[in-house]
């Protein structure tokens, strides 16, 4: 009998599996917002268990075993092996009034009708305004001074919400004690599950520039100060490589896929030119992805949203195995063309159902038709793992979620 892990890794290696592998909440871009998850549980008649929000920024829920089993989910994130005790969580309330649990190390403060995250020195790091469904970044550490000589990179990164509001296994660090915890937790988790396990590393380059300088300023500096931005990216890559060594030394034997992230696309085209990508980012992505292959027996995945087709040849040359999420509603990201051009070299992970239009606004029949069309195209010859394009938003009807996952499982 084929296990979920064998099914996923066979597909990643371009073998035709016994059925299409399914990823639903296997990482922070294939998940479901807690409000939608609560409605899905109610729709399915599941009354057990609390709502656990593991990603506080995006307010994504931990999908529980009954739901994973109901939809034959084959992928799971390594973080589910951590924060297993009641003291790891605190009570909170979602924007729609639903009680939930959030990681205990996160301490939101109510100010008027808004929720705020403050740095120990009082700096406002992030805010969820009344009526909003997630947190927004408010602190851009190098907005005004431009980063100086970048010697305080680590301290500046600690003032960005994506670092401050990490998801389990955070807040475990990369010191000796933390690495021991990571290794022990990952080993236990692998022994408990036959699903393919994704270890989220990150290693973002473009996005960290945007988090630190603010998007407009970073794009301007890439164009106007390329030599200086090379120095910044060198320092950032050096830090990522050191952390990658530590991370994979601890968890490498217990995960199947290491996931990197860097959103490089917009709806109608890339954020930067292919020439700028090749000069500024390609060699550094290549250094990290090739090093991951040397350090552990893992497949390398990149999460990158939007219209990124012009970069894909460089991704392949840089050592990428898996591209996710295949935003098929963006320009030049049509499933047929991508499969034909790149399906022999990359596993296309995602693209199974449009999350901008069809999933939130279509009927269940529309969803089933979309899934059937995309799966037929993308699964041909292996090299495909199903997920909806991105996280399921709070307003998606539970009937559509069920229709989507039942459709892919129906074959």
The alpha-helical segments, DSSP class H, found in 193-278 are: 206-213, 215-224, 226-251, 274-276
pLDDT band at 146 (very low <50, low <70, confident <90, very high): confident
pTM above 0.85, yes or no: yes
Residues 6+ apart with CB under 8 A from 411: 19, 20
φ, ψ (nearest 5 deg) of residue 86:
-60, -35
Burial class (CB in 10 A: 0-12, 13-18, 19+), 67: buried
Q: Is the distance from CB of 98 to CB of 59 less than 8 angstroms?
A: no
Q: Is the confidence at residue 310, as pLDDT, over 90? A: yes
pLDDT tens readout for residues 21-65: 999 999 999 999 999 999 999 999 999 999 999 999 999 999 999
Q: Is the distance from CB of 125 to CB of 164 less than 8 angstroms?
A: yes
From CA 151, how far away is CA 145, in angstroms rounded? 13
**Structural domain boundaries in the chain:** 4-109+140-410
Secondary structure (3-state) at 384: strand
pLDDT tens readout for residues 222-257: 999 999 999 999 999 999 999 999 999 999 999 999
**Strand arrangement, sheet containing 124-128:** 109-111, 114-118, 124-128, 136-137
pLDDT tens readout for residues 97-123: 999 999 999 999 999 999 999 999 999
**Architecture label for domain 4-109+140-410:** Alpha-Beta Barrel (3.20)
Q: Is the distance from CB of 110 to CB of 117 less than 8 angstroms?
A: no
Secondary structure (3-state) at 299: strand
């Amino acid at each position: 009998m084929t296990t979920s892990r064998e099914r996923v890794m066979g597909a990643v290696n371009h073998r035709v599996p016994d059925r299409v592998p399914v990823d639903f909440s296997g990482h922070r871009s294939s998940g479901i917002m807690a409000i939608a998850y609560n409605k899905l549980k109610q729709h399915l008649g599941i009354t057990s268990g609390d709502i656990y929000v593991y990603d506080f920024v995006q307010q994504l829920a931990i999908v529980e075993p009954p739901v994973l089993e109901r939809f034959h989910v084959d992928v799971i994130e390594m973080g589910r092996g951590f924060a297993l005790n009641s003291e790891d969580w605190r009570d909170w309330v979602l924007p729609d009034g639903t009680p939930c649990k959030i990681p205990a190390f996160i301490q939101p403060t109510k100010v008027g009708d808004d929720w705020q995250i403050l740095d120990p020195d009082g700096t406002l790091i992030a805010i969820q305004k009344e009526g909003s469904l997630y947190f927004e970044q408010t602190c851009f550490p190098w907005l005004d001074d431009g980063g100086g000589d970048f010697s305080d990179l680590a301290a500046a990164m600690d003032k960005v919400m994506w670092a401050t509001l990490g998801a389990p296994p955070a807040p475990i660090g990369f010191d000796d004690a933390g690495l021991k915890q990571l290794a022990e937790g990952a080993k236990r988790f692998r022994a408990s599950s036959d699903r393919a396990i994704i270890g989220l590393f990150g290693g973002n380059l473009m996005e960290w520039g945007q988090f630190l300088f603010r998007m407009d300023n970073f794009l301007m500096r890439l164009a106007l100060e390329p030599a200086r931005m090379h120095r910044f990216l060198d320092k950032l890559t050096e830090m990522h490589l050191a952390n990658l060594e530590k991370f994979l030394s601890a968890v490498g034997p217990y995960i199947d896929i290491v996931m990197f992230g860097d959103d490089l696309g917009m709806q109608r085209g890339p954020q930067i030119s292919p020439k700028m990508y090749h000069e500024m980012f390609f060699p550094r992505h290549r250094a990290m992805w090739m090093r991951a292959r040397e350090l552990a027996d893992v497949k390398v995945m990149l999460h990158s949203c939007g219209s990124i087709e012009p970069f894909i040849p460089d991704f392949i040359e840089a050592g990428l195995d898996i591209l996710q999420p295949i935003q098929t509603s963006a320009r030049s990201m049509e499933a047929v063309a991508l499969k034909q051009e790149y399906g022999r070299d990359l596993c296309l992970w995602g693209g199974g159902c449009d999350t901008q239009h069809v999933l939130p606004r279509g009927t269940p029949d529309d969803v089933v038709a979309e899934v059937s069309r995309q799966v037929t195209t993308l699964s041909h010859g292996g090299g495909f793992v199903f997920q909806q394009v991105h996280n399921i938003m709070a307003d998606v009807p539970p009937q559509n979620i069920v229709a989507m996952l039942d459709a892919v499982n129906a074959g």
